Amino acid sequence: MPQSKSSNLKQGITITDVAKAAGVSVPTVSRILNNKEYVADETRERVNQAIKQLGYVPHTQARQLRGAASQTLALHHPIESPHELSTVIETSYFTGTAEAASEKEYFINFLVSQLTPDSLLNMYRSNQVDGIILLQVRMDDWRVNILRENNYPFVMIGRCSELEDLTFIDLDFENAMLLAVDFLVELGHQNIGLLTYPQSWRKAGIGPAVRSLDGYKRALDNYGLRSSYREIGLNSVEEGYEGTHDLLQENPELTAIITVSHLTAAGSIKALAARGRNVPQDCSVMSVGFGGNFADVVTPSLTTLEWSPYEISYQATVLMIDKLRQKDLPAQQILVAPNLVVRESTKAIT
């Protein structure tokens, strides 16, 4: 097929062309495009043939103009540097969201630019999005406050403190800690340490940080055990390494360590090795966090309590779309329990 000049690329086939070719009016074509009733079968067929023959595709923006929705969602993680984003967000968040959106014929935008209250509202006002999925929600979150106030649709992955009428799906961190401690106690462990989220996160009211520590403390309380934890970074092996040294300095009796990321768990195992303690013979290590390939890469492979970011983001996206399509839907609030996957890094006390 010979190529046409690039100048006439943009002016594609329009609905008018189709109408002409089929010998009908434009509204009739529109009706057929939108599967409305009251169209003669014979007409429908003629028009569909014209559509096929001309290779006609409706113009996305024109369809959205009639006061209609943009059919677009956005996913937002509040982080300053987009480059950093790669280290804190799982690929599966993107693919889960994209997949659900695609299935329901929505578009999805991933917001990476610094978002201000104004630019957030503008997303809605400019009809760029119909709804936004919020990640990394704080107990008191400005995004939630402003969207609620303006009555713009959104859902949270995570949750804030005032939840009335709000739709969210969250990982049940508190319960996860209870499960982790239960698991370890059952193996005979009595000295269980924790390497958890940074103190700054907890002070900033970031859910996982607050709830993980709460859950851990509560679990140890239940068993009458002594707590022993460090609040550290979670995105490097290094931090797990140092945190473990500090933890053992403070409490050398530890026979089990819980971490909140697979990276710090790896560091923990390395630090134990450096102190002549093999995992799992001399100390158990388990990680509470997102699944993925990390757990198998570590030696010994990591016992985990894990969530699937794919499933969660997929579900969040479905919640968002349901909410948009059914205005009167009551708020949905979902807490997801993690799956226990026992690998090699934990062992019963003998």
Partner DNA sequence: CTGAAAGCGCTTACAG
Could you give the C-alpha distances from 124 to 117, 120, 133, 165, in angstroms and in order?
A: 12, 7, 13, 20
Q: Which is nearer to a copy of itself, 215 or 240 (CB)?
A: 240
DSSP single-letter state for residue 273: H
Write the DSSP string, 77-95.
Answer: ---S-HHHHHHHS-HHHHH
Measured CA to CA, the distance from residue 200 to residue 67 in angstroms comes to 44
Could you give the C-alpha distances from 225 to 170, 192, 213, in angstroms and in order?
A: 28, 8, 15
Which 31-50 residues touch DNA, going by CB under 7 A? 31, 33-34, 37-40, 42-44
By a kind-dependent CB cut-off of 5 to 8 A, residue 90 interacts, out of DNA, a copy of itself, none, with a copy of itself
Contact present, 300 and 273 (Cβ < 8 Å): no
**Contact between 318 and a copy of itself (CB under 8 A)?**
no
Which 259-288 residues touch a copy of itself, going by CB under 8 A? 262-263, 266, 269-270, 273
Q: Which is nearer to DNA, 45 or 282 (CB)?
A: 45
Q: Which is nearer to DNA, 16 or 161 (CB)?
A: 16
Residue reference for tokens 């967000």: 89
Instruction: Return the range that interacts with a copy of itself (CB under 8 A); candidates 28-36, 137-145, 172-180, 233-241.
Output: 233-241
By a kind-dependent CB cut-off of 5 to 8 A, residue 39 interacts, out of DNA, a copy of itself, none, with DNA
Q: Which is nearer to DNA, 31 or 138 (CB)?
A: 31
Which 146-175 residues touch a copy of itself, going by CB under 8 A? 149-152
Binding residue count for a copy of itself, defined by CB under 8 A: 74
Instruction: Return the range that interacts with a copy of itself (CB under 8 A); candidates 18-26, 66-74, 211-219, 224-232.
Output: 66-74
253: left (phi over 0), alpha (psi -120 to 50) or beta: alpha
Instruction: Return the range that interacts with DNA (CB under 7 A); candidates 20-28, 74-82, 198-206, 243-251.
Output: 20-28
By a kind-dependent CB cut-off of 5 to 8 A, residue 34 interacts, out of a copy of itself, DNA, none, with DNA
Measured CA to CA, the distance from residue 72 to residue 128 in angstroms comes to 7
C-beta of 27: minimal distance to a copy of itself in Å?
19
Among 15, 100, 169, 180, binds DNA (CB under 7 A): 15
C-beta of 107: minimal distance to DNA in Å?
16
228 CB neighbour count, 10 Å cutoff: 18
Which 229-248 residues touch DNA, going by CB under 7 A? none
Q: Which is nearer to a copy of itself, 13 or 336 (CB)?
A: 13
Measured CA to CA, the distance from residue 19 to residue 281 in angstroms comes to 77
Produce one character per residue of 105-115: b if its CB has 16 or more CB atoms within 10 Å, e if not: ebebbbbeeeb
Residue type, 207: G
Alpha carbon 103 to its chain centroid, in Å, reads 17
Which 44-83 residues touch DNA, going by CB under 7 A? 44, 58-59, 62-63, 65-68
Alpha carbon distance, N-terminus to C-terminus of the chain: 76
Q: Where on the chain is the footprint of DNA (CB under 7 A)? A: 11-12, 14-16, 23-31, 33-34, 37-40, 42-44, 58-59, 62-63, 65-68
